[in-house]
Amino acid sequence: MSHRPLPGRRSVLRGSLAASAALSLPVGLGAAPAFARSGRPGAGWGVQTGDVTADSGLVWVRADRPARMIVETSATESFRNPRRWHGPLLGAGTDFTGTTRLNGLPSGEQIHYRVLLADPDDPRRTGEPVTGTFRTVSRRRRDGVRFLWSGDLAGQGWGINPDLGGYRIYDAMGRLDPDFFLCSGDNIYADGPITATQALPDGRTWRNVTTEEKAKVAETLAEYRGNFRYNLLDENLRRFNAQVPSIIQWDDHEVRNNWYPGEVIASSDTRYTEKSIDVLAARARRAFSEYFPVSTLRPGAREGRVHRVLRQGPLLDLFVLDMRTYRNANSPDDQTVDPQGIMGREQLEWLKRELARSRAVWKVIAADMPIGLVVPDTTENRPNIEAVAQGDPGAPLGRELQIAELLRFIKHRRITGTLWLTADVHHTSAQHYQPSRAAFTDFEPFWEFVSGPLNAGAFPASALDATFGPERVFVKAPTASNVSPAGGYQFFGEVDIDGDSGELTVRLREQDGTVLFTQTLQPGRVGQ
């Protein structure tokens, strides 16, 4: 496989880890460690980069007090002749977080950066710099593209366990040195409190790092912010963030399980005093925009949305969907007319336009929910459907109507190289969709690959809906529900596009990086 050489970028991360040493996991059980405040601003939550393009990228940081964000970039780790970028003033209005856009970067190159936090009243007083690195998108086809994806972090009460070394899966992903990481949603579990201990089936005890904000379901803006901060207590994640840029989407657990716009939480759920999902979603969305470097959600960004397309050179366009914000209400999903669907009409038309415009060899659709897997909504004992498929193997109904419209469009516009990536269901699998097996036949065959969770409970394989003719080619899932990360079944996926042949290879991997399944697809070929 042809790829550009991968320069070593481990040593540059030492500064990042040193600066975040105050957040190292405690040896024993206990609450999250506090900042060791000094006379200068600190950045103990590490750094992140996101939505990197051929000539730009977003750098994120959080300060421990008001500070001016300054970013310096260089082509080398020595930071000789650095270029300086003056970022925003970080204050309480954004929970002391901020992003700085770096423009005019060279394409296809390793960028070394360091973030300095300056005292607003005395710019000469800066804290210890926090360093990171990323590669800009290459415009050269021969360089290839390699990225990872997964989702579902700190779910079902399984949080940062110091006995197991925390979120170890991030070290395995970091060793592959991908161009970027796609997080397919459920970055937090705002509706899932983290207690100090949980009992395991074999009699052992799972122990969690705990924080005040994770002691209950999130309702206030401060509690949502605290959920995002919780994950950054993990050293593995902070190290990964400093090494690999991310592309982030969201799903339900950033707000509440299986939520939809306009929902009112039943009075029987006494965990919530705020019953309006729209109010909770607005608070969660603000915290989400503060804690991730998402280009369309930055202050001053025109779009103000999660769905977007990230162009990754001549080989790949990545279409990031939002199947949460614009959906209709969860229901039995058996209606014969459904103009809104799971994406909303405006987003669907946007996706069609962008797919038709794309000249990339591969068009990867990053969906936060699966297409042919039945995902029920049993919240408050409602017999509803949470995703797209409802289990009826016949002609499309409900939200399937919108997917059928999209698949028909892709076929009739002769758009090649599409495949779907998702997470959500807490197991890993590969499905091939074929018209000859389907009730709805007006589409070209395609693949859907599922991965996750990163660190959450694992669940049995979901049932398949035959409407679009899926065949489950591979699956690994437990037979019991809510298997803890100590029991395994934590997964991530890899997509590797060869620069010479254009072949796209998907590998489904276990927590330690072991390859479970491999599928190679040929560019431009219909019906594979």
CATH architecture of the domain with range 35-135: Sandwich (2.60)
pLDDT at 19: 45
Q: Which residues of the chain have pLDDT under 70?
A: 1-38, 526-528
Half-sphere exposure for 150 (CA within 13 Å, toward CB): 29
pLDDT at 367: 98
Buried b (16+ CB within 10 A) or exposed e, 414-445: eeebbbbbbbbbbbbbbbbbbbeebbbeebbb
Instruction: Specify whether the CB–CB gap between 433 and 469 falls below 8 A.
Output: yes
What CATH number does the domain located at 149-227+255-521 have?
3.60.21.70
- Name all contacts of 316-319 with Cβ < 8 Å and 24+ positions apart: 316/145, 316/360, 316/361, 316/362, 316/363, 316/364, 316/497, 317/354, 317/358, 317/360, 317/362, 317/363, 317/364, 318/182, 318/247, 318/364, 318/366, 319/351, 319/354, 319/355, 319/363, 319/364, 319/365, 319/366
pLDDT at 528: 66
Instruction: Specify whether the CB–CB gap between 195 and 157 falls below 8 A.
Output: yes
pLDDT at 527: 57
pLDDT in tens, 7-46: 444 444 444 444 444 454 443 344 554 444 558 899 999 9
The ranges assigned to domains in the chain are 35-135, 149-227+255-521
